[in-house]
A and B are shown apart, each in its own frame.
Chain A
Amino acid sequence: MIEVRGLSRRFGDILAVDAITFDVARGEILGFLGPNGAGKSTTVKMLTGMLRPSGGTARVAGFDVVSQPVDVKRRVGYVPESGAIYDNLTGAEYLDLVASLHHLDTARSRSRAEEMLQHFGLLNAANRRIAEYSKGMRQKVLLAAALLHNPDVLFLDEPLTGLDANAALIVKELLRSLAGQGKTIFFCSHILEVVERICTRIIIISKGAIVIEGAAADICAQTGTATLEQAFSQLTGIQDVESVTRDFLAALENR
């Protein structure tokens, strides 16, 4: 469902994504991990058509992201890491906006939006401005907007940010069910426990390049670590945690 071959992106002299290659199958939940600035969001932006690749190719839902971007966009849903949303719209209006941009039938999209807002416990707030929403409520609107047109592929960049435990539980279960229905889910998160639990396969990138891929257990076995967290730390070159902590505490003492 997602085929990436030698995909690169350069910003001036900086190579943000360095010729990455991978596939994601239909019904798969792929965890896409990496430290800050590793190139995760840039990859997602290229796959959703927000950025043009500097090199390589990518096909999503059978369409090329460069030559057939509109066909790709009809089939993908996206929750951005930034959580950026037009605050001056109400929740219902934002979903109406997204439905219009997808050319969905107004009556049908409205009833679907209402249903989703109800499941997320947002129906009473549907006609209030998003500016008045909590972070979790905004995230729910973004999730609803990503699902509104029933996409084949979902790109979720930190989708659980701000959600309370119950809402996060619903979303995680929803993702499993959607994958069960054959949807492909590209899941970026820093919450490694969640990734470990719901993703069928994981890719870790660092400095724009893929450093490892496989199931969580395979990654731990390959790196000789007990947890995904330790594997991540080892692969992405983080300094010795204990020594950083010691230095930090020492700085506090030097008042």
Chain B
Amino acid sequence: MDRTPSGAASRLSFLSRVGVDPVQFRALFEAGLKLDFRSPSAMQARPQSGWKRFGSLAVMYAMLGIALGMMALFVPDVFLSGSLALSAVMFLVGSSVLIEFAVVVISPLDYEVLGYQPVSSTTYFAVRLANVLFYTSALTTIVGILPMAAYFFARGFDPVLGAAAIAAFYAASITTTVAMIVAYVGIAQLVHPAKLQRVLTYLQLLLSFAIYGGYFMLPRMFEPAALRTWTVRKSAWMLLYPPTWFASYLDLAIGRWTAMEIVPALVGVATAALLGYLTAARLSLRYSEVLSVQSSKSEGPQAPGRALLKLGRTGERRAIALLLRAQFKHDQRFRFTVLSLVPLTLFYLMLGTREGGFRDPFVHAGWSGDSMLLYFAMLMFPMMLLTGVSRTDAYRAAWVFYVTPARRSDLVLALKDLAMVYMLVPYCLGLGLVLAWYYGNILHAYLHLAVQLMFVNLVLLLGIALQHDLPFSRPPMQKGQATGAFFFVLLVASIAQAAMTGLLSRFVYRQPVLLALVVAGFLAGGIAGQRALRRHLDRHVGEMEFAA
């Protein structure tokens, strides 16, 4: 049997001394990296290669690194700036391990693939730890390179402080990594992995909202010049916060050697050692076996959901409602596509309210730029849903649409109707309350939104006419595949929407007869458009072949 050249093995011989097979270690580590970089993140609407995924994270983290570097340079209190920077690093590393690289931590599949191979638990542990640390160290380097460099010069050239910063950043990163591994594998033993994945989707949603919000809100909250006056008074309570343990290294480096620095620094080291020990006990093939058993267990019977199905008792709409509900519940990618709209909506709403609120278009002629974001959301969200809903890993199962007598045009239109009823109507009902608060007139708020809704319906009909697929019938989008038609419609429609909103406010809303005519026009257009689209789809979707 072929073996790896002995030279390569000897370079890794130190591993042998700790019970790790160096040849297996190298083979599994390399295979792990290849697999991780080739598999898409479960959370992404469109799968990307690992490098691209890592690249987009890296850009985001590098931007944060610039801000942290500025803080390290200009905040005079190194303990304070260090605590803040290390908070960011620990937060980002922790969330990455939990969400982006959870599958790297431990995979139930490992047991299926490696369980019968001659791989010891020690070797498996070393490979898994090395895989995870590879990612988290890279992220730490990207986010921390500027602040670490800044500490060399923050108080004149001080190499000791710089070296302490490097030690603090990587110690914080490694401690967070192993803490997340211990937490993740602990929870995964108790909770079904599918449920855990769902919880992680919601967690990522919250985190993305926090990150988006932070980027936009923080610069508005602080003046850069105020950085120079920032300082903090240490207390014992403050030292319960883990980033301060590692920030204490910075204080030690500048000569502060009291119990308030030494004890937290020692606590940091002890915690890292304890977590390392606990990780070694958990990241074994034996653990992978436990996880494999847990994964193969049933999640239990699924509660039949009735609300969504009331829209159609039989036929295409019921079929699509059934699929949408199940896909939303269990398809991570689809759920994340839909849920990612929520923080954006809240963000748009927040922006609108911060800039002086919303003006009643029935009273004030013209349009408000901030309000437009909310109406744009009405266009964008269903368009994104319609674009994303045809893509799924389960696309091969779409044969069922081709061998049954279902009217394919109705399958496509059912999606639009469901998006309107279950997405836009609740959105408008909620938004109407917010607008009514600002307008002081609930009728104006809902009338205005009803007109917008009818406009959006027309745009959706146009969008479907230009780009139509059967639901859940296409493989996940690959690099280079464009959704150009949809985004072109979105761009043109958003311009038209802005113009229409301004015109309505200036010329129509104050004349009830004209308003009634416009509403009647939209309604008639919607009905005629739907009929025309059904005929168009019958010709085009009806001709489609099953391509999977």
Contact = CB atoms under 8 A, between A and B. Distances in A.
Interface in A88-114: 88-90, 92-93, 96-106
B206 to A, nearest CB: 24
Interface string B307-322: 0000011111011001
Given A78-B403, A101-B405, A45 B322 contact: no
Interface residues of A, number: 41
Contacts of A106: 313-314
B330 A88 contact: yes
B101 to A, nearest CB: 23
B301 interface: yes
Contacts of B545: 50-52
B402 A48 contact: yes
Interface stretch (B52-60, B73-81, B392-400): B392-400
B548 interface: yes
A49 B319 contact: no
Contact of A101 (B298, B319, B326, B543): B319
Contact of A103 (B299, B322, B323, B405): B405
A100 B301 CA distance: 22
A132 B299 contact: yes
A74 interface: yes
Contact of B326 (A82, A86, A98, A145): A86
Contacts, number: 112
A74 B406 CA distance: 9
A131 B327 CA distance: 12
A13 to B, nearest CB: 18
A184 to B, nearest CB: 16
A131 B301 CA distance: 12
A88 B325 CA distance: 9
A82 B396 CA distance: 8
B466 interface: no
Nearest to B301: A127
A88 B326 CA distance: 6
A70 interface: yes
A87 interface: yes
A89 B326 CA distance: 6
Given A50-B403, A84-B396, A128-B298, A97 B315 contact: no
B1 interface: yes
B260 to A, nearest CB: 54
Nearest to A132: B298
Of B312, B327, B543, most A-chain CB atoms within 10 Å: B327
A29 to B, nearest CB: 20
B444 to A, nearest CB: 41
B4 interface: no
B329 interface: yes
B304 interface: yes
A154 to B, nearest CB: 12
Contacts of B318: 96, 100
Contacts of A102: 404-406
A101 B322 contact: no
Contact of A80 (B314, B316, B399, B404): B399
A96 B403 contact: no
A128 B301 CA distance: 5
A78 B314 CA distance: 21
Nearest to B305: A93
B403 A73 contact: yes
B151 interface: no
A170 B445 CA distance: 63
Contacts of B546: 45, 50-51
B472 interface: yes
Nearest to B399: A80
Contacts of A49: 402-403
A86 B394 contact: yes
B401 interface: yes
Contacts of B1: 255
Interface in B209-257: none
Contacts of A105: 314
A90 B302 CA distance: 7
A76 interface: yes
B289 interface: no
Contact of A129 (B302, B304, B404, B543): B302
B547 to A, nearest CB: 9
A192 interface: no
A215 interface: no
A225 to B, nearest CB: 36
25 contacts: A48-B402, A48-B403, A51-B546, A52-B543, A52-B545, A76-B403, A84-B396, A84-B397, A84-B548, A86-B323, A86-B326, A86-B327, A86-B472, A87-B397, A89-B322, A93-B322, A96-B318, A97-B323, A101-B319, A102-B404, A102-B405, A103-B405, A104-B314, A127-B302, A128-B300
Interface of B: 1, 298-302, 304, 312-316, 318-319, 322-323, 326-327, 329-331, 394, 396-407, 472, 543, 545-546, 548
Given A71-B405, A84-B548, A88-B329, 7 more contacts: A50-B403, A82-B399, A88-B327, A88-B331, A89-B326, A98-B400, A98-B404
